[in-house]
Structure 1
């Protein structure tokens, strides 16, 4: 089975408020609860929160001094207006990046991840929250009216596919799991309770997933042939006197 290319010719505008997303208030609360323990462990000087949905999250305090919101929309919470594919940040300038439900609406998600990896320092943290394409709420896309509504109008990527992209960027994944089991509707409460019970056994049917990754840098130090020979051949004075031989 061949996967569709991640790049698409026409970009889809990302939602600017949680109330634009189906069951948005409940999803926002779930995301805040899941991210809280990871945000509290962050440290450093600069934290970038990408996207309008991320800017509206009420995140707990952490040791990072400077927080900034980055996005491509004209809203008050957005402090740095920039394209995610061409960030104005220098290389190794950020200590942590948080992006919630934004990658699904980007035109070139590969480039977005490359820009974030470039801007992170060594051992910097990247926290991603994405919509799960295997979630049970995807059955709502069978109705043509739902296709053009948030969040179903975005391009979903599976968790395994995101993990593969991160591995190419030398990102070590430390946390990954599904959460927020829901059909994203309020008309039939019995469906919501059924999905919640099913997710206890099959978490892959949940609506969202979270990935926490750390940027790793492995320095390459070339070793000359002469240095290798010196390590293999013992020096005469380091060999015990009883074991020394003369030619």
Structure 2
């Protein structure tokens, strides 16, 4: 079977194995993020925002049935207008992944969140991609980004990384039976080799530096009151004579 897109690959046993793990992680991470607007970029066939309670949720992709059709590196949203952005496997299949992150930073409000999922190059899945030499069908034709590089890019754009995990430790077998037989590696992997999962999910929070809350100088006001009060209480002057009360 010819696989022409990542969506097609997600229908095969390998893709279903990955999708099951990622859906559970997205459900957990988006459940406690609040705001007014949330956008999922890419893979509109799968609702990774389903557990989020933000009132306006939108899918944006380059094609398919979605709310808005647009390129991920040229988002049609106003600056600082979105509270949450999801990037499920967008960066490794984009020609300009850094521009995608710049656009996400632009549209996010201060303290807004971006959640990224990607394939881990330092894993059995990354080894499978090396064997394919970056060619062939999805998902082996992507440019996999390591967690360290993703964190570096986020930090350069003013994001603070918070939360995240690895998963899918079983080898990328083609058949569902083989994947099930190696499922024991998922439990062992979290304990013994946690950074070698085939996929990862990572959250970044947009921080705005230089913001300071300005409050009244209550200390100076109290000092002035203390300095003036004894004069009024000590007495009043009548015809040039100080009269004590």
TM-score by length of 1: 0.76
Can you give the 5+ residue segments of structure 1 that lack an aligned partner in the other structure? 1-12, 222-230, 239-247
Is it true that 1:135 corresponds to 2:123 in the alignment?
yes
Q: Secondary structure at the match of 1:91?
A: coil
Match of 2:58 in 1: 68
Give the superposition deviation at 1:184: 1.8
Match of 1:212 in 2: 203
Q: Is the 8 A contact 2:72 2:100 kept in 1?
A: yes
Alignment deviations for residues 160-209 of structure 1 (CA, whole Å, 9 cap, x no partner): 00100100111111113212212121454597357433453111221111
Is it true that 1:108 corresponds to 2:131 in the alignment?
no
Match of 1:36 in 2: 27
Q: Is the 8 A contact 2:83 2:113 kept in 1?
A: yes
Q: Secondary structure at the match of 2:170?
A: coil
Q: Is the 8 A contact 1:117 1:169 kept in 2?
A: yes
Separation of aligned partners in 1, 2:165 and 2:31: 18
Alignment deviations for residues 38-83 of structure 1 (CA, whole Å, 9 cap, x no partner): 111111111100102x54135443321111111112x12x211111
TM-score by length of 2: 0.76
Match of 1:244 in 2: none
Is it true that 1:173 corresponds to 2:157 in the alignment?
no
Task: From the superposition, tell whether residues 183 and 88 of structure 1 become closer, same or farther in structure 2 (CA, over 3 Å).
Answer: same
Match of 1:80 in 2: 68
Task: From the superposition, tell whether residues 213 and 122 of structure 1 become closer, same or farther in structure 2 (CA, over 3 Å).
Answer: same
Separation of aligned partners in 1, 2:149 and 2:158: 15
Is it true that 1:57 corresponds to 2:47 in the alignment?
yes
Cα RMSD for the two superposed structures: 3.2
Q: Is the 8 A contact 1:18 1:28 kept in 2?
A: no
Can you give the 5+ residue segments of structure 2 that lack an aligned partner in the other structure? 213-219, 228-245
**Shift >6 Å, 4+ stretches:** none
Q: Is the 8 A contact 2:189 2:197 kept in 1?
A: no
Is it true that 1:95 corresponds to 2:83 in the alignment?
yes
Task: From the superposition, tell whether residues 115 and 22 of structure 1 become closer, same or farther in structure 2 (CA, over 3 Å).
Answer: farther
Q: How many residues align?
A: 218
Match of 1:126 in 2: 114
1:134-213, aligned counterparts within 5 Å?
134-141=122-129, 143-144=131-132, 147-187=135-175, 188=178, 192-193=182-183, 195-196=185-186, 197-213=188-204
Q: Secondary structure at the match of 1:203?
A: coil
